[in-house]
Structure 1
Amino acid sequence: MATESLIPQSTLDQVEAANAAGRRPVVFIHGLWLLPSSWDRWAAVFEEAGYAAVSPGWPDDPETVEEANAHPEVFANKTVGQVADHYAAVIALLEQKPAVVGHSFGGLLAQMVAGRGLSAATVSISPAPFRGVLPLPISALRASSPVLTNPANKHRAVPLTYEQFRYAFANAVSEDEAKELYDAFAVPAPGAPLFQAASANLNPWTQAKVKSKNPDRGPLLIIGGEQDHTVPHAISNAAFKKQKRNEGVTEFVEIANRGHALTIDSGWREVADTALGFVKQYA
Structure 2
Amino acid sequence: MTTSRSPGQLLTALRAAPPLVQCITNYVAMNIAANVVLAAGASPAMVHAEEEAGEFAAFSGALTINIGTLSPAWVSGMKQAAKAAARNGKPWVLDPVAHYATGFRRESVAALLDLNPAIIRGNASEIIALAGSESRGQGVDSRDPVEQAEGAARSIAAQYGAVVAVTGPVDFVTDGTRAVRISGGSPLMPQITALGCSLTCLTGAFAAIASDETFDATVAALAMFAVAGEQAAQEAKGPGSFSWRFLDALAALDGPALDAAARISQA
Per the normalisation by structure 1, the TM-score is 0.35
Per the normalisation by structure 2, the TM-score is 0.36
Higher helix share: 2
